[in-house]
Amino acid sequence: MEKINREDMLELTRRMTLKRNCFDRIAGAYLDEEGFVDGTFNKHFQRLSQKDQQANLDIAKAIPFSDTNVQLKEFAFGETDRRPGSVWQLLMALKECGLKNDAMLDVFYEEFGQKYRADGSYAIYFFHGSYDVPLKASDKESLWESEEVYQFLICAVCPVSGDYEPDRPVCGFLFPAFKDRSSDVDRIDVFAADGQSHQAEDLRRILFAMS
């Protein structure tokens, strides 16, 4: 397990505001405590009301803005973890299609629901974003020229109550990892709100076991 650079995460979160929003799509599912899907949604992010945009930005931002290397830990996909039918292949496909394939999303929801254990109903939120990574001069000032476009997914798992009202995320991930200001498709940053290593490891095992 390698260390995550806090500055990389802060650079991302600065693009997660109403004025500098990096997200184009949000999708998700509501599941009961047994992991059965109660309903799904898939929307263009910019078509949400400003109130809903802000609420969802707060959910997404909680993942990279968390306590780096305590709540948010980096894990590598080995060669066998990238086999056909793996969660890595599914996440790559979801990233490439920009969350516009409901069938692939349904596969993730159902597989995750079978393996994840919750104390009550919960929601899985997916966000697709892109960030034009600016070049940096030797003095670390931005040159405003794009070095690459980092396309990424944020997934947040939130307890829900009442009329599907979400609480703060309890776990989730950022994929691909944003490492050295660049995309690293061989790594994933896994979030566990309680900061306990076993919870991040448990979520990693769930994800890597999905096929």
Read off φ and ψ for residue 2, nearest 5 degrees: -100, 165
What angle do the packed helices 102-115 and 197-209 form, to 10 degrees?
130
Cα separation, 20 vs 203, in Å, equals 30
Termini Cα distance of the chain: 22
Cα separation, 39 vs 87, in Å, equals 22
| Residue 91: how many other CB atoms lie within 10 Å | 23
State the DSSP code for 167.
Answer: -
Given this model, what pLDDT does residue 2 score?
80
Closest CA to 72 of 60, 59, 63, 82: 63
Question: In angstroms, what CA-CA distances link 72 with 4, 7, 178, 188, 196?
Answer: 8, 13, 12, 10, 10
pLDDT tens string, the chain, 211 residues long: the values are 689 999 999 999 999 999 999 999 999 999 999 999 999 999 999 999 999 999 999 999 999 999 999 999 999 999 999 999 999 999 999 999 999 999 999 999 999 999 998 889 999 999 999 999 987 655 555 555 567 899 999 999 999 998 889 999 999 999 999 998 899 999 999 999 987 656 667 787 888 887 5
Given this model, what pLDDT does residue 23 score?
98
